[in-house]
Structure 1
Amino acid sequence: MASFLLVAITLLHLVDAGPPMLEEHSESNGSSLVQTMNCGEACKVRCSKSWKPKMCKRACGTCCARCNCVPPGTSVYTRGMCPCYATMTTHGGRLKCP
């Protein structure tokens, strides 16, 4: 029963998050398109319920720039959707990304 509740809550957060925020950038010759995250918007959503929003957005922005991924929504349970983001640590060994 507890696992069902956890799955239901996770799905609720995913539905609430909406689609990923991607931007397309073309190279100078226009031959290929590379999709990159709109880190500002993605981190704004990710940090919207943080008790320290400025610090959260700064850390999230760094993580997004390195990983080109931000988990949807505000829940810690969605971290696994961006493995790079979920495993990045500080020099002290603590998780870096909010």
Structure 2
Amino acid sequence: MVSFSIFRCVFLAFLIIVSFFQVSMGGKYSCKPEECPSRCAYRCSAASAKERCLDTCNDCCLKCLEVPPGTWGHKDLTPCYNSLKTKKGQPKCP
């Protein structure tokens, strides 16, 4: 019974360490602040209101350090970017 308790403690410590490294390393679509303008330029390339899209995307990118792939959709792949909302509770990021 004692060995099972030790195993659970070690396993829990392992999960904590793994989650720390995943957060600190970023996800697949994470980026550095200096990459935000180019990523947002591509993200907003098909938008009709490009300037507003670029402003909003860059703001979201600097807060989250991630931009979804493609020119539309796929926000579920970037949790922080997807979670930002306007004052009215609507999705903020393009």
TM-score (norm 1): 0.62
**Larger radius of gyration, structure 1 or 2?**
2
Aligned length: 66
Shift in Å, 1:80: 1.0
Does the residue aligned with 1:50 lie in a helix, a strand or coil?
coil
Contact preservation (8 Å) 2:67, 2:78: yes
Identical counterparts, % of pairs: 35
Runs of 4+ in 1 over 2 A off after TM superposition: 19-22
- Unpaired segments ≥5 residues, structure 2: 1-27
Q: Residues of 2 paired with 1:63 and 1:49: CA distance?
A: 18
Relative to its length, the structure with more strand (as a share) is 1
TM-superposed CA distance for 1:81, in Å, is 1.1
Q: Which structure dedicates a bigger proportion of its chain to helix?
A: 2
Q: CA RMSD in A?
A: 1.8
Shift in alpha-carbon separation, 1:21–1:48, aligned structure 2, 3 A: farther
Partner of 1:62: 59
Output the TM-score relative to the length of structure 2: 0.65
